[in-house]
Chain A
Amino acid sequence: MKVKHVKLFLVSVSLFFGALFLASCTPSQAQASKPGALLWGENCVRCHNAPSPSAFSDSQWEVVGKHMRIRASLTADEVDKIVEFLKMAN
């Protein structure tokens, strides 16, 4: 019974600090104000060459963006800005 309580306590503490950590996770102002073109140049090249905006249509970029958001663990804000840039530049 005692071990059970200790485990419960540890899980609760972990959840509390986990929630605190997530709540404090925000990008700095400089990061948040980065334009899509800059994010496109910085993030795509981590694995492959930065794609040409003309490679896909607007609706195709939406699928590619969703796919890359999951595969590259990008944040929603980063993907939205990159896709907007690619749609504007294609």
Chain B
Amino acid sequence: MRKVLLILVLCTAMLSAQEKPGESRFLLRGYAHSGVEVRGDETTFVGGSFNPIFLWRQSDKLLFEAELEVEYENGETLIGLEYANMSYIINDYATLRLGKFLLPFGTFAAKLHPAWINRLSSKPLGFGHDGVGPARDLGVELRGGIPLGEAKMTYSVYMINGPALNDGTNPNVEPEEAGMLLYDLGEDNNNNKAIGGRVSFLPLSNSSMEIGFSGLYGKVGSVESKYEDVAALLYAVDFSYVSKVSFLSGVVDIKAQLNGVRVDDASYFNVEDSSNYSFSNQSSAYYVQMSYRPVNMSTDFLNSLEFVGRYSELSFPEGALWTSDQTQYAFGLNYWVDWRTVVKLSYQFADTGAHESEGEEGEASNDAIFLHWAFGF
């Protein structure tokens, strides 16, 4: 009898020991999306991608986060590392991050791009993988939020490997795109580290409005090349306003961001006529987006709807072989199944300006209809 009691006590003790929470916590989060797209005469299912996010709370001050992007494209499964970094909370207003992280260069790449957060199925012009401005990089960052009476501000300063200049001499990178910046390459092409930061102000007491300013500066040319002193200045301005509007019985969400890139003048090899040429190397992209969700209507169906409109514009340098001026309009109707699950129906059309004036033929249709579903988990 004593042995049985002892075993029972031991089992109970072991079970209760397992139930004790401990300091460490692991959490798998992420998001997934898929859908169907109609472009011209082509209709195809796309996506089938998911992004698992691994969160490990080592202690009250240490957190590890990593995100993978798993995509199915052209019959292949592609896996990419979006970010993997460790954060150490120094005090109430400062956190140190090391590793590969999403850059606070504006807000779209850092906060708004996940499929269940982005109100439309596509990204604005210039805000995708080959866009104007970086999305992620390797380095070290100090960031935090600071109360200012009724208002608030956030800040971030970081040092990263930085973008690299495509000088046209690497046969593995498009030589006709000489002068373009390449982002997220992993290893640095020189010993100079790029310095950047973002500061934002939330002037209203309910934090409904945020205005942010970002900058990044560094040398971008490869070491021991004639471009080693070529530097680039990148900047961004972002705006956000989210508020309930009583006379509309709903929530209005306005987002906007302008990205700009200025690269020092340099001479590049022209692959089309074997001459050297230069141009004023300035690119920019911006978008303005507005959505409205009638959350205070009489039926759940109406409360779950959301209307979205977005305008975006992209401009690559005039005189470059990769010059381009594009504009895009996108409109969408979303249905929110719950707070993190959405079905998005959208239509977009683009004007590729410069290309059309050059009389290019065989261009894919710029009009597209998307029906996507996305959920966060």
* Bound form: Cα–Cα A74–B95 in Å: 11
Determine if A67 is an interface residue (Cβ-Cβ < 8 Å).
yes
Contact A46 B150 (CB under 8 A): no
- Using A49-B340, A73-B154 as known contacts, say yes or no to A42 and B208 having CB atoms under 8 A apart: yes
Instruction: Name the distance in Å between B182's Cβ and chain A's nearest Cβ.
Output: 26
Q: Which residue of B lies closest to A62 (CB)?
A: B25
Contact B57 A63 (CB under 8 A): yes
- Using A63-B25, A70-B87 as known contacts, say yes or no to A49 and B150 having CB atoms under 8 A apart: no
- Using A63-B27, A63-B57, A66-B57 as known contacts, say yes or no to A52 and B207 having CB atoms under 8 A apart: no
Instruction: Name the distance in Å between B157's Cβ and chain A's nearest Cβ.
Output: 12
Contact B117 A46 (CB under 8 A): no
Contact B92 A43 (CB under 8 A): no
Determine if A22 is an interface residue (Cβ-Cβ < 8 Å).
yes
Contact B92 A64 (CB under 8 A): no
**A interface SS class:** helix
Interface string of B66-91 (1 = CB under 8 A from A): 00000000000000000000010100
* Bound form: Cα–Cα A28–B27 in Å: 35
Determine if A2 is an interface residue (Cβ-Cβ < 8 Å).
no
Q: Which of A30, A60, A77 makes the CB contact (< 8 A) with B25?
A: A60
A residues less than 8 Å from B92 (CB atoms): 75-77
Chain B residue total in the interface (Cβ 8 A)? 46
Instruction: Name the distance in Å between B55's Cβ and chain A's nearest Cβ.
Output: 5
Contact A25 B376 (CB under 8 A): no
B residues less than 8 Å from A66 (CB atoms): 57, 63, 89
Contact A67 B340 (CB under 8 A): no
A residues less than 8 Å from B251 (CB atoms): 45
Interface string of B223-253 (1 = CB under 8 A from A): 0000000000000000010100000000101
B residues less than 8 Å from A70 (CB atoms): 63, 65, 87, 89, 95, 97, 143
Which residues of A are at the interface with B, using a C-beta cutoff of 8 A? 22, 25-28, 30-31, 42-43, 45-52, 55, 59-60, 62-64, 66-67, 69-78
Which residues of B are at the interface with A, using a C-beta cutoff of 8 A? 21, 25-27, 29, 55, 57, 63, 65, 87, 89, 92-93, 95, 97, 107, 111-112, 116-117, 143-150, 152, 154-156, 205-208, 210, 240, 242, 251, 253, 336, 338-340, 376
Sample of 9 A–B contacts (CB below 8 Å): A22-B93, A31-B205, A42-B207, A46-B240, A48-B339, A66-B57, A74-B145, A75-B144, A75-B145
